[in-house]
Structure 1
Amino acid sequence: MTDYATVTPTVGDVAQSYEYIVDVATVPVAPAEKAYVNVPDINQFNPQFPAQLQDITTYANKGQQAQAKVGSAPTAAFNILKIRDEAGEFQPEWLILKNASDKTGKDNLVYLRWYDALGASDAYEGLFLVTRDSRPENGAQGPGWDAFSFAAAGPILPIANPVLTP
């Protein structure tokens, strides 16, 4: 039995919020493979995995609710710092997101994957609808941030961490 006197902090290195790598890919035309592009200039990355629940309450539950998880509806969001290249255009990963968010239907989809930068097993991949959100910085002065959010367009599944696989 664990009691208050024997509880101690876990030994190890604390994970940092910036220790995620996020990649994006356009939907390839078969038989092409996904070609991921890293999205390094982000902050506020926030993946979420809300459960899709089904009511399975019966009289046997005697007035208490009963539910079963039948799936999930993952979402993600982040801000990206817009950076111009020598020709004056924004970085390729911003263009992938902007171009997809401007479209509808299957052209509004991108693959997104994220994973622990140090190789831990926290790694996911899936197909997402893209939305360009309100700019988080729009004052008279300030860096040019854009915000994007993503809604799952199918299952978002754990993957082997790409840091560990060639």
Structure 2
Amino acid sequence: MTTFADIAPTQGDTGNTFEWIWDITADPFIEDPTYLNVPDITGLTPAAPPKLQDSTTYANKGQTSQSKTGEDFTMQVQVKGVKDETGEFQPELVALIEAADGIASDNIIGYRYYHATSKALAYAGTAAVNWSRVNTGNDGIEFFQFDLTGQGDRRKIPNPALETSNDGGTGGGSGD
């Protein structure tokens, strides 16, 4: 039995909120898509609540029983608008807006998000994407909010940040 005196803080380094990586592809339905890293993100908030169905029978003796039949994946993330010398925003931001506007893949993108150091935290799938502006004041920094709605195919993947490439280095998830 665990007593109060047995409880102590976990030893090790504290994780940081900025240790997440997000990549997208405008070609999610090809076998080996090229991913584009989206570096200027904040507020990456994936959620995958289970889709539950009542599976109660008399054998449950009056207790509720629910079975998971899927999940309802959503993600919100903000991207800071960074312009080049021509005044155009960064390519990954333009790709997201074009996808949301239906210019690329009928509003569907491929995504993968993963932790920079944790092997267990890596996912990929496809999602419909929509966007809106975050800061609309007279002196704010331009941020765009993207809302992703999963297409039912989120899955665990090997973590691209921790995969070893053929040259002995590690893959960083930015274009592999």
TM normalised by structure 1 equals: 0.91
The residue matched to 1:97 in structure 2 has which SS? helix
Percent identity among equivalent residues? Answer: 38
Of residues 152, 155, 158, the one that matches 1:157 is: 155
The residue matched to 1:94 in structure 2 has which SS? helix
Deviation at 1:60, TM superposition (A): 3.5
Letter of the structure 1 residue corresponding to residue 35 of structure 2: Y
Letter of the structure 1 residue corresponding to residue 27 of structure 2: V
Q: 1:106 to 1:85 in 2, by over 3 A?
A: closer
| Structure 1 unaligned residues grouped into runs of 5+ | none
**Matched residues, number:** 164
Of residues 144, 147, 159, the one that matches 1:146 is: 144
- 1:1-150 map, 5 Å: 1-27=1-27, 30=30, 33-103=32-102, 106-133=105-132, 135-150=133-148
Separation in 2, partners of 1:146, 1:21:
17
Separation in 2, partners of 1:81, 1:160:
28
- For the aligned residues, what is the CA RMSD? 1.8
Separation in 2, partners of 1:54, 1:108:
29
Deviation at 1:144, TM superposition (A): 0.6
Separation in 2, partners of 1:30, 1:115:
21
Separation in 1, partners of 2:138, 2:107:
32
Separation in 1, partners of 2:88, 2:82:
8
Separation in 2, partners of 1:40, 1:26:
17
Deviation at 1:59, TM superposition (A): 3.2
Separation in 1, partners of 2:29, 2:45:
29
Q: 1:54 to 1:137 in 2, by over 3 A?
A: same
Q: 1:61 to 1:119 in 2, by over 3 A?
A: closer
Deviation at 1:64, TM superposition (A): 2.8
